[in-house]
Amino acid sequence: MDNDTPPPPSLPATARLPINRCNLPAVILGSLTFQDHPAPLELDGVRALHGDLWRHLDGLEEPAVRIHDFMAYMRGHFCLDDPAACGLAEGETGGRERADYLRTLRGWWFNPDGREAAVLKGWVESRFGLITRFHREPLPDAESLAYGRFMQERAGGVYNTNALESQLDLLYSYTQYELRRRAPERTHLTLYRGVNRLADHEVLARLPGGQALVLLNNVNAFSAVRERADEFGDYILTVKVPTAKVCCFQDLLPGVLQGEGEHLVIGGVYRVKVSLM
């Protein structure tokens, strides 16, 4: 690199926590370097705690069968069909005893600034150490009133649920398992996101060729189908997303994620290609 060329922007200190619950710190997994040279991400304890599930899935060749058995495992392990078995009295908690990973995903796609979205953004903060940058409004820092409102909604979303964030841990780990099983050599996916104005995002640097370095929110919706992204804005962000940063995707749980080729992606600093529809 030329001595006069500044190093590529890393993840700003205001966008990360000093600790997280996975094998890489936020300053690394949220950086541009990680986009270019990704590594597997492992949430603390999940693989060891659910070893019987992974061994069972290893013996299944059909993705549809693995999906069926994964969802059955989730129902059994977290007592999703029997809240009373976990000490949750049905009807006494305003329906929160029925909140689970599936309802959280559906809630996100219905409203990416709603209560379920706050839960997902808070989960990413806790597990990956990437601070939420936007929830209904910009969240400039952890001392702001806007961030306090976000935290209140996040807390309300996990209150009186059956280990909802642990359900999301297992969902992420299963997503990564399936991505490796289906395409072991793949490290990136080319995904698309429609936006009305690039200025609405945190642009760290402009690059030649219509590219930019952008700090994305800590979790985002992308599509594998460019024409689908066209529906959401006048500009298209084309991004090479590390598979390690995919939380869930439409084909993983058919009928849960809406649209076409939808992916839920962990944020951080990304190099993006900006183009008109």
Beta bridge partners of 188: 242
Does residue 234 have a pLDDT over 90? no
139-148, 194-203, 214-223: range with lowest mean pLDDT:
194-203
Between residues 94 and 119, which one has the greater pLDDT? 119
Instruction: Give CA–CA dist 193/217, Å, rounded.
Output: 13
Query: Which amino acid type is present at position 73?
Result: Y
Q: Model confidence at 50, in pLDDT bands (50, 70, 90)?
A: very high
Question: Cβ neighbours of residue 104 under 8 Å, at least 6 residues apart?
Answer: 116, 119, 120, 157, 164, 167, 168
Full-model pTM? 0.93
Angstrom distance (rounded) from CA 197 to CA 205: 15
Question: Biggest alpha carbon distance in the chain?
Answer: 65
Q: ∠62-64-69 over CA atoms, to 5°? A: 100
Cα-to-chain-centroid distance, residue 52: 25
pLDDT of residue 258: 63
pLDDT at 88 over 70: no
Note the helical H segments in 62-144.
Answer: 63-77, 101-110, 115-128
Query: Which residue type is seen at 120?
Result: L
Q: What is the pLDDT of residue 1?
A: 45
Residue 240: C-alpha distances to residues 10, 93, 162, 172, 189 (Å): 17, 42, 35, 19, 6
* Percent of the chain's residues with pLDDT above 70: 91
In the DSSP assignment, the letter for residue 79 is T
